[in-house]
């Protein structure tokens, strides 16, 4: 269990986009069919690493996300494994219908690898902070949706996405976040990972909220409340068995995500619990509002995406659990 | 009558027959493209009905996906699937969807129907051919009303930028879209100048003249370093006199009686000559 985690508070922070850039280069070395597309943001999404290593397999499509996805569909139909990158707002929002009709509907082998998701984009403000991308992608049939929590997991997620035949959306961030996982950590599509165990309540998180969940679990432990922490990087397919197992074991669940509470991890967990095993649930996330400019850490604080808020949420569900 | 001309005549009959059976669908833009599709499938393109996923085949993308009947007719006549299946167009549980579905229909290289997206995917296929140094060519049929979609111009810019001379687009310029004449709904002229300005090799032909179409496709093979668009001047509903140039026949299937009249005319033979 805990050996999956490193001493993460002492580890250096790395943005998942940085790990993406490195993972792509490694993939490019291993598989000549990997091609990479970007929409004039290669330096920010870190696909520039791949562009430098494999200039003949990198294609800048200019500021034209819809056409980038269309090209990716055509490349996939002709046997390539395209990774198409942009900021999450534009990759999923601007090109949504191309993703729907040219990628998901024909089940083409396109990987939409988006960075700069969530309010931790920071200073660029609400126009650039995707809070709805997971809801959009999760609603598409035949789409796999992955949200890595740290650099180690990102590398595994990228590898798994390339090995999987079919459309995948990968959500990554701009902000440097703690490296959590040891090299023996194992990510698989469709599998949630229990990374801490406790009997009182469960915190299910993904993305940068996994570190906050671990922090909250420690704080709660100091008060004598022991929580299970589940990293749910595979938002779709969702690991129903693991979620129901921890819900049965602990009887109270908190979800934590850097996304609108509508349509993301909280919604997905609520759907499974309410249909199978209802327990007290609290969704920590962005409360159906757009973001704004500011420093990432200040925004995470302002929008309630902190370990303190998770601690309060666990206390809330515990009260409801013991009222029953 | 050449084999290709005969095929165009059969394809037009198939279109009428299948749309009458389906009781819905798009005859006008299917009939306008029948000669173009006949030339592509029975003269120009290298495809193998026994091996529809042959990696070195030429590809075809029907960007104006609502003209699915013309493509299905050609694929059936070519032997990709039995002709009887045409009568199951648009029916529950059968594989011929209202718009082309590459997962269901052998010989369909790209799922289309949402306008503008096909040319973008076709360009992506052409790029894949360039990466792999393959000699296959990618053909794409674009509608004239479809040029209203911004992605068409994004794809046009990118195809020229990446010098995709293995990409050949044919514009079915029948002049009509659902709400009326293209030039009244949203003027796209000067079309040839636009494509030239985007860096394309542009040719203009009579889209119902088999020899002109064949010769222009041949000429396009010799153009290096840029994609080619053939602006094919066509008549919407071509071959069925009561459908020709009638905007109302964009998306309405013929009744049994109308289908009989149309078939009689098409079997008469000379509307196309």
> Where in the sequence is the domain holding A102, given as residue range(s)?
13-178
List chain A residues with CB under 8 Å of B198: none
**Which residue of B56, B121, B135, B155 is the best one to mutate when testing the A interface, meaning the one whose CB has the most A CBs within 10 A?**
B121
SS (H, E, C) chain B: CCHHHHHHHHHHHHHHHHHHHHCCCCCHHHHCCHHHHHHHHHHHCCCCCCCCCCCCCCEEEECCHHHHHHHHHHHHHHCCCCHHHHHHCCCCCCCCCCCCCCCCCCCCCCCCCCCCHHHHHHHHHHHHHHHCCCCCCEEEEEECHHHHCHHHHHHHHHHHHCCCCCEEEEEEECCEECCEEHHHHCCCCCHHHHHHHCCCEEEEEECCCHHHHHHHHHHHCCCCCCCEEEEEECCCCCCCCCCCCCHHHCCCCCCHHHHHHHHHHHHHCHHHC
- Tell me which residue in A57, A77, A105 faces B131 most closely, judged by beta carbons: A57
* CB atoms A79 and B55 under 8 Å: yes
pLDDT at position B272: 45
Q: Is residue A31 part of a domain?
A: yes
> Model confidence over A223-273: pLDDT tens digits?
999 999 999 999 999 999 999 999 999 999 999 999 999 999 999 999 999
Q: How far is B101 from chain A (nearest CA, A)?
A: 7
ipTM: 0.96
Is the residue at A89 inside a domain? yes
Collect all residues of chain B within an 8 Å Cβ-Cβ radius of residue A105: 101, 111
Which of B111, B113, B120 lies nearest to residue A67, judging by beta carbons? B120
Nearest to B110 among A56, A77, A82 (CB): A77
* Nearest neighbour of B151 by CB, restricted to A57, A67, A107: A67
Mutating which of A67, A73, A103, A106 best tests the B interface, going by the most B Cβ atoms within 10 A?
A: A67
Q: Is A216 on the interface with B (CB under 8 A)?
A: no
* CB nearest A67 (choices: B59, B102, B155): B155
Chain B hits for A77, CB-CB cut-off 8 Å, are 59, 102, 109-110, 121, 124-125
Give the residue on A whose Cα is nearest the Cα of B127: A75
In a domain? residue A287: yes
Check CB contact of B111 with chain A, cutoff 8 Å: yes
Distance from CA of A51 to the nearest CA of B (A): 15
Residue A224 shares a structural domain with residue A264? yes
**CB pair distance less than 8 Å for A74 and B121:** yes
Residues A152 and A210 in one domain: no
Tens digit of pLDDT for each residue in B208-228? 999 999 999 999 999 999 999
Q: Is B21 on the interface with A (CB under 8 A)?
A: no
Q: Are A153 and A324 in contact (CB under 8 A)?
A: no
Would you state the pLDDT for residue B273? 43
Q: Where are chain B's structural domains?
A: 3-272
**A142–chain B nearest CA distance, Å:** 13
pLDDT in tens, A270-291: 999 999 999 999 999 999 999 9
Concerning whether A258 is annotated as a catalytic residue, the answer is: no
Smallest CA–CA separation between B161 and chain A, in Å?
9
Residue B102 Cα, gap to closest chain A Cα (Å): 7
- CATH homologous superfamily, domain B3-272: Thiamin diphosphate (ThDP)-binding fold, Pyr/PP domains (3.40.50.970)
| Number of domains forming the structure of chain A | 2
CA closest to B105 among chain A residues: A106
Smallest CA–CA distance from B160 into chain A, residue:
A61
- Shortest Cα–Cα distance, B127 to chain A (Å): 7
Position A3 scores a pLDDT of 79
* CB atoms B113 and A78 under 8 Å: no
Would you say residue A2 lies in a domain? no
User: Taking CB atoms and an 8 Å limit, are B158 and A71 in contact across chains?
Assistant: yes
Residue A185 within a domain: no
Q: Which residues of B touch A57 (CB under 8 A)?
A: 131
- What pLDDT band is residue A104 in, cutting at 50, 70 and 90? very high
Q: Are residues A132 and A205 in the same domain?
A: no
The arithmetic mean of pLDDT across residues A121-134, rounded, is: 98
Instruction: Give the chain A residue nearest B114 (alpha carbons).
Output: A101
CATH number of the domain residue A261 falls in: 3.40.50.920
The A residues from 102 to 131 touching B (CB cutoff 8 Å) are 102, 105-107
Residue A69 placed within a domain: yes
Greatest Cα pair distance in chain A:
63
Structural domain contains residue A214? yes
CATH number of the domain enclosing A140:
3.40.50.970
* Residue contact B111–A101, C-beta within 8 A: yes
Asked, for residue A228, whether it belongs to a domain, the answer is yes
Q: Which residues of A touch B58 (CB under 8 A)?
A: none
Low-confidence ranges of chain B (pLDDT < 70): 1, 269-273
Q: Same domain for A277 and A163?
A: no
Same domain, A97 and A158: yes
Q: Are residues A229 and A115 in the same domain?
A: no
Same domain, residue pair A207 and A171 = no
Give chain A's mean pLDDT: 97
Query: Does B129 reach chain A within 8 Å, measured CB to CB?
Result: yes
Of A18, A65, A153, A258, the catalytic one is A65
């Amino acid at each position: 269990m805990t050996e999956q985690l490193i001493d993460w508070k002492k580890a250096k922070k790395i943005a998942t986009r940085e790990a993406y850039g490195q993972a792509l280069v490694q993939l490019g070395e291993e598989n000549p069919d990997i091609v990479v597309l970007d929409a004039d943001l290669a330096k920010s999404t870190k696909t520039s690493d791949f562009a430098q290593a494999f200039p003949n397999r990198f294609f800048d499509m200019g500021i034209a996300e819809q056409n980038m996805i269309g090209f990716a569909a055509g490349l996939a139909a002709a046997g390539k494994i395209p990774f198409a990158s942009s900021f999450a707002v534009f990759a999923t929002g601007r090109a949504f219908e191309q993703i729907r009709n040219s990628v998901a509907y024909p089940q083409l082998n396109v990987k939409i690898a988006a960075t700069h998701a969530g309010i931790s984009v920071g200073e660029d403000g609400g126009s650039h902070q995707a809070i709805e991308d997971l809801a959009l992608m999760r609603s598409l049939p035949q789409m796999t949706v992955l949200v890595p929590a740290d650099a180690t997991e990102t590398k595994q997620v990228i590898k798994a996405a390339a090995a999987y035949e079919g459309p995948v959306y990968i959500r990554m961030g701009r902000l440097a976040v703690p490296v959590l996982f040891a090299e023996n950590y194992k990510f698989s599509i469709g599998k949630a990972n229990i990374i801490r165990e406790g009997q009182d309540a469960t915190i299910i998180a993904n993305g940068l909220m996994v570190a906050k969940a671990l922090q909250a679990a420690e704080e709660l432990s100091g008060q004598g409340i022991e929580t299970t922490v589940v990293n749910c990087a595979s938002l779709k397919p969702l690991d129903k068995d693991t979620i129901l197992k921890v819900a049965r074991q602990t009887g109270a669940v908190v979800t934590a995500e850097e996304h609108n509470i509508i349509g993301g991890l909280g919604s997905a967990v609520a759907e499974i619990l309410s249909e199978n095993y209802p327990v007290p649930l609290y969704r920590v996330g962005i409360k159906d509002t757009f973001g704004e400019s500011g420093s990432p850490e200040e925004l995470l604080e302002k929008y309630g995406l902190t370990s303190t808020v998770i601690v309060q949420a666990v206390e809330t569900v515990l009260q409801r659990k013991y009222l029953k | 009558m050449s084999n290709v001309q005969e095929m165009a005549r059969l394809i037009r009959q198939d279109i009428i027959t299948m749309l009458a059976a389906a009781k819905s669908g798009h005859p006008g833009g299917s009939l306008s493209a029948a000669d173009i599709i006949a030339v592509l499938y029975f003269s120009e393109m290298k495809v193998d009905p026994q091996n529809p996923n042959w990696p070195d085949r030429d590809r075809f993308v029907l960007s104006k996906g609502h003209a699915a009947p013309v493509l299905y007719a050609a694929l059936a006549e070519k032997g990709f699937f039995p002709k009887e299946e045409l009568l199951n167009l648009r029916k529950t549980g059968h594989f011929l969807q209202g718009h082309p579905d590459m997962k269901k229909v052998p010989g369909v290289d790209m799922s289309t129907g949402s306008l503008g997206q096909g040319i973008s995917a076709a360009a992506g296929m052409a790029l894949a051919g360039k990466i792999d140094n393959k000699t296959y060519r990618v053909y794409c049929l674009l509608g004239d009303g479809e040029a209203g979609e911004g992605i068409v111009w994004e794809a046009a810019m990118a195809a020229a930028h990446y010098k995709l001379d293995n990409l050949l687009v044919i514009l079915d310029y029948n002049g009509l879209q659902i709400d009326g004449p293209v030039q009244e709904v949203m003027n796209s002229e000067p079309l040839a100048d636009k494509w030239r300005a985007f860096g394309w090799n542009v040719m203009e032909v009579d889209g119902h003249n088999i020899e002109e179409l064949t010769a222009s496709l041949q000429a396009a093979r010799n153009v290096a370093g840029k994609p080619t668009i053939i602006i094919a001047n066509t008549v919407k509903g071509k071959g069925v006199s009561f459908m020709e140039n009638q905007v109302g026949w964009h998306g309405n299937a013929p009744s049994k009686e109308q289908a009989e009249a149309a078939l009689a005319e098409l079997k008469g033979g000379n509307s196309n000559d």
